[in-house]
Amino acid sequence: MELYAIELRLNGQPRKASVTVADTLLDVLRTQLGAHDVKNGCGQGDCGACTVLLDGRAVNSCLTLAVQADGSEVTTLRGLGTPEDPHPLQEAFVRHGAIQCGFCTSGMVLAAKSFLDDHPEPTRDEIREGISGNLCRCTGYTKIVDAIEEAAHVNAGGRS
């Protein structure tokens, strides 16, 4: 099986991997690039747990071949913000109790980020539409919408 050498920027750092054509970006992120913050919930684009930002847009990394990400910017949750420099979405999720088991959180926060980039002043219904590709089984979504709504207000006054 032929192997391809790919290069991408993961959370701002140049990284390399050796992949087959069939390897998904999700596979490679978790097995070769140590990005365990990206989760595998279903493998076929139905749950959103594997969401990453690919050149700034939220996508299912399980529906993207690793070779297709060659030359791209990939951002995962760890690249969005850190304890020292948190993203407003991360702070809002914590403050509003929008995290229970946390397994959907990575994908949910990144999808929210991408959504807020396009919709800086969303209604609650628009927020629901924006995260409709990210399943959560624990929270019932209400506090997630609360958190994203707050982050949108913070963004309006500050960093994006």
| Chosen residue from 83, 157, 158, 159 binding another protein by CB under 8 A | 83
Looking at residues 3 to 22 of the shown chain, list those that interact with another protein (rule: CB under 8 A): 4, 20-22
C-beta of 136 vs 152, nearer to another protein = 136
Q: Does 150 bind another protein (CB under 8 A)?
A: no
* Contacting another protein within 85-114 (CB under 8 A): 86, 90, 93-97, 99-106, 109, 111, 114
The Cβ of residue 129 has, within 10 Å, a number of other Cβ atoms equal to 13
Element (H, E) at 18: strand 13-19
Under the binding rule (CB under 8 A), the answer on residue 138 touching another protein is yes
Contacts for 87-90: CB closer than 8 Å, 24+ residues apart: 87/113, 87/151, 88/150, 88/151, 88/154, 88/155, 88/158, 88/159, 89/113, 89/116, 89/147, 89/148, 89/151
One of 118, 123, 153, 156 touching another protein (CB under 8 A):
118
Number of residues that bind another protein (CB under 8 A): 80
Dihedral, CA of residue 152, residue 95, residue 40 and residue 142, to nearest 10: -70
State the minimum distance, in angstroms, from the CB of residue 3 to another protein: 10
Using CB under 8 A as the binding rule, the residues of this chain from 19 to 48 that contact another protein are 20-22, 24, 31, 36-37, 39-48
Structure tokens at 84: 């020292």
Task: Tell me how far, at minimum, the Cβ of 145 lies from another protein, in Å.
Answer: 7
State in angstroms the smallest separation of the CB of 89 from another protein: 9
| Total Cβ atoms within 10 A of residue 15 | 17
Amino acid at 13: Q
